[in-house]
Amino acid sequence: MRHARLTRRRFAALAFGLGAASARGSPEARLILLERRDCPWCRLWLRDVGERAWNASDLGRRAPLRRVDVAAGLPEDLQFLSDWRLTPTFVLVKGGREIGRILGYAGADFFWQQAEALLSRLGDD
């Protein structure tokens, strides 16, 4: 039993470490969703667009979504994100630096237009 517990802890530590390293210095682009459970606009985005539809889209394949509940604080690997006040805030990150943001949510059509403009900053990678 003790061995299984230690193995789970090692696995969790390894998984966290890999996740932190990949977000901080990875050349892969990610779209970070800063959200709160009590945010009605966040829930509306999840209903209208949602993680599954985003990740299945061409844009989502270029920058998979990572959801972060800001009520728990920013994870260590995202401490470089500053000056956010509004949820939802969508932050495009690549190589450990911010490329740009979408503040708030004003409907699915407008979001997809904003997201396309935001991801165009990545160029042809």
Determine the structural domain holding residue 113 and report its residue range.
2-122
DSSP letter for 87, please. S
Reported pTM: 0.77
Beta-carbon-side half-sphere exposure of residue 66 (alpha carbons within 13 Å)? 22
- Per the structure, how many domains does the chain have? 1
The SS3 assignment for 83 reads coil
Domain CATH number, residue 95: 3.40.30.10
10-residue mean pLDDT series, the chain (125 residues): 44 38 62 96 96 95 96 91 90 94 96 97 79
Token look-up 């990678």 returns 125
Residue type, 12: A
